Amino acid sequence: MAFKMATMGMRVTDECKNSFMEMKWKKVSRYIVFKIDEGSKRLTVDKVGAAGEGYDEMAAALPNDDCRYAVFDFDFVSVDNCRKSKIFFIAWAPTASRIRAKILYATSKDGLRRALDGIHYELQATDPTEMGFDLIKERVK
C-alpha cells in the first residue's frame, strides 16, 4: 500500500506555486518549507520565512523526524561586485523519519521541482551537516 501511494504522486497546490513566485519575484520571503499531506495527497506550504529571516531559521524549521522540501533564496555579492540571488531546493529526509515518508518524498520531488520554475541548485540532506550554510556559499562560487 505504501509503495502504491508513493508512486501515485502528489498534487502541488496553488498556494505552493504562488508562495514560490512571491519569494522569487517580490522578495517577500526568504524561504518556504513544503510538506506532503498524506490524507489529501497534496503538497502544501508548511512555513514561510520572512524576508529578514536567514538560513539558520530555515534549517531550524525542518523537523528532526519527518521529511520536508524547502526552497531558500540566497542573496550574495559576486566576485565582480554584483548583487545576485540564487534559489536552492532542499530535499530533507532525516534518518529518523519513517521509511514510508522517505519513499513518498523521493517519488514526489520531481513534480514539485517542475512546478517551481527558477531553482538554481539542489541539495539532498539526511542531517544538518549535509546542508550547512558553508555548502550553500560554496555552490555559488
pLDDT at 9: 60
15 within 8 A of 44, measured Cβ to Cβ:
yes
Q: What sign has the CA pseudo-torsion 38, 40, 43, 47?
A: negative
Phi/psi at 120 (nearest 5 deg)? -95, -40
Using only C-alpha atoms, the chain has a radius of gyration, in whole angstroms, of: 15
Per-residue pLDDT at 119: 96
pTM for the model stands at 0.89
List the chain pLDDT tens, one digit each, 141 residues.
333 333 346 789 999 999 999 999 999 999 999 999 988 889 999 999 999 999 999 999 999 999 999 999 999 988 899 999 999 999 999 999 999 999 999 999 999 999 999 999 999 999 998 998 998 888 887
Q: What are the two backbone dihedrals, phi and then psi, of residue 99, each rounded to the nearest 5 degrees?
A: -60, -45
